[in-house]
Amino acid sequence: MTQHSNRRRVVVGAAVLASGALLASCAGAGGGAGGGGGEDGVTTLTLATVNNPQMVDMQELAPKFEAEHPDIKIKFVQMEENDLRDKVTADISTDGGQYDIMTIGSYEAPIWAANGWLADLTDYAGDADYDVDDLMPPVRDALTVDDSLYAVPFYAESSFLMYNKEILDEAGIEVSDRPTWDEVAEAARAVADDDTAGICLRGKPGWGEVFAPLTTVVNTFGGQWYDENWDAQVDGEGFTEAVQFYTDLVKDAGESDPVSYGFTECLNLFTQGDAAFWYDATSAAGSVESPELSDVAGKIGYAHAPVNKTDESGWLFAWNLAVPESSQNKDAAWEFMNWATSKEYIKLVGEELGWSRVPPGSRQSTYEIPEYQDEAGAFAGLTKDIMLAVDPAQPGVDPQPYVGIQYVTIPEFQDVGNQVSQQVADVFAGRSSVEDALAAGQKVAQDAGDAQK
C-alpha cells in the first residue's frame, strides 16, 4: 500500500474544531424547536450542517444575511457527515427540537416528508423572486413528494474522475474523457509510490461515505443492492466483483489507512498534490480549483465517472436545507434558506470568495453566469452534462425496485449501508475476505428487503 503524509494545511479543519463548542452551545437553545426569540426581539436559528467546504463558505458569508435581517441570528452547528446524519435523524425522529434548519440529503428528504417530519415549503418557494423553476429538474424532483416541495437544494452533485495532469504527464499517461475502471486502475498502479497515492477512494465506514462511490462501482460492474423482487444481491456476482476490485485497488495504489478516509480526507490529500486520481463528488472541483484552498488549482483534468458495463456511472445527490415540522420559527428559517439558496447568494459567493467556489448543481442559471463559465470552465459544463445524463431509475445493468443511484430509498437503508460498510472496513483491515464480508452483509440487507415485500 502506498504511504504518504498529510502535510501542510487541512482545508476544512477549522470547521471541525469549531463544531464541538457549537454543539455544546446549542444544547440549551430555547423557544420550543431549535432557537427562539429572545427578549431583544432577535430570533436565533440553530442550523445543523455538514462541514463540507460549501457550508463553511455559507457560515463565512452569514453575517451579510444577519446585517440585512437584524432580527435573525444564525447559530451554525457543523459536523462530520456521519455525525450529522446520526444527530439530525435522532433529533427529528424523536421530535427533539434541537434544530430550526437541517442540512439533509436527497435520500432523507422524501422519506422524512412521507413521515410528516418536514415542513412543506411549496408556498414559500412559490414566490416569483425565488424562481423555483430555475432549480435543476432532477434535483427538484428528488425533493418533491405528492407535488409538494419539502427541501431546497444548497448544492447538488454527480460524481466524476479528477486527475493530476502533472503527475500523469510525467508518467506519459493519457486519460480519456470516458475512461473504464480497468484503465484507471492500471494508471493508478503505475504512478503510485511511497510519496504519492495512485488514487484516493473513500474507505471510511458509512452508507454516505464509502458506499457513495462504491455503490456506483457496484452498479457499473452489473451488481445492485436489490433485484425487482426486493431480494438482496449483496453477495451476488456483480456486487462481489466490484467490492473486490475496489478494495484491491485501494490496497495496491490508494491512500494508507483507507478506513480513515472520507470525502474531506481525500479532498485534503488531492489538493496537496499527494494523489494522482480521485473519484468523488463533482462538487469537490470548486475547492480543488480554488488557489486559496488548493496547491493543484489549474493542474487538474476531469472525466466522466469510470465505467465497466454501463455507459454512465455517476451518482446524483444534493445537500439541501429543510425545516422540521415541529419548528416554531418556520418563517425566519425560510428567510435564511431563501437567501442561502438564491441566485443572489450564488453571485455573492462568486464575487466574495471566487467563482470556482460557487455552490454547483442547484440552479440552471448558475451555468449561464459568464464569470462562472470563465473560472469553472474546466468542470462546470461536464458537471451539468453528467447530472442530466445519469438515470436514478436504473443506474446499473438490471432493473431495480427503487429510485436512487448510490442509495436505496427505504428507511432501513441507512442502517443496512452502515452495517455492510463496517464489513468492508474489515476487508481493508485484513480481518475478513470480500466473500465473508458480503455474506454477512447479505443477511442484513435481506432482512430489510423482506420488509418491503
pLDDT tens digits in sequence order for the chain, 453 residues long: 433 333 333 333 333 323 333 332 232 222 334 555 555 789 999 999 999 989 999 999 999 999 999 999 999 999 998 899 999 999 999 999 999 999 999 999 999 999 999 999 999 999 999 999 999 988 999 999 999 999 999 999 999 999 999 999 999 999 999 999 999 999 999 999 999 999 999 999 999 999 999 999 999 999 999 999 999 999 999 999 999 999 999 999 999 999 999 999 999 999 999 999 999 999 999 999 999 999 999 999 999 999 999 999 999 999 999 999 989 999 999 999 999 999 999 999 999 999 989 999 999 999 999 999 998 999 999 999 999 889 999 999 999 999 899 999 999 999 999 999 999 999 999 999 999 999 999 999 999 999 999
CATH 3.40.190.10 applies to domain 13-157+317-371: yes
Report how far apart, in Å, the C-alpha atoms of 46 and of each of 317, 327, 346 are: 24, 11, 22
Q: Give the model's pLDDT for residue 39.
A: 58
**Cα(324)–Cα(362) distance, integer angstroms:** 21
* Residue range(s) occupied by CATH 3.40.190.10 in the chain: 13-157+317-371, 159-314+391-450
What grid cell was written down for 44?
436565533
**Helices (H) then strands (E): counts for the chain:** 18, 11
Neighbouring-strand partners of residue 135 = 363
* pLDDT on residue 8: 32
Task: Give the separation between CA 207 and CA 213, rounded to whole angstroms.
Answer: 10
Residues in Cβ contact with 190 at an 8 Å cutoff, skipping those fewer than 6 apart: 171, 173, 198
pLDDT given for residue 35 in this prediction? 57
- The angle formed by the CA atoms of residues 185, 357 and 293, to the nearest 5 degrees, is 70
SS3 assignment, position 12: coil
**Confidence at residue 356, expressed as pLDDT on a 0 to 100 scale:** 87
CATH 3.40.190.10: does it fit domain 159-314+391-450? yes
Angle of CA points 102, 108, 114, to nearest 5°: 105
Q: Which residues pair with 43 in a beta bridge?
A: 37, 72
Q: How many CB atoms lie within 10 A of CB 332?
A: 26
Give the per-residue pLDDT at 388.
Answer: 86
- Among 121, 124, 104, 131, smallest CA distance to 48 is for 104
- What per-residue confidence (pLDDT) applies to 403? 87
Q: Are 270 and 299 in contact (CB under 8 A)?
A: no
Backbone angles phi, psi at 225, to 5 degrees: -70, -45
Predicted pLDDT at 10: 36
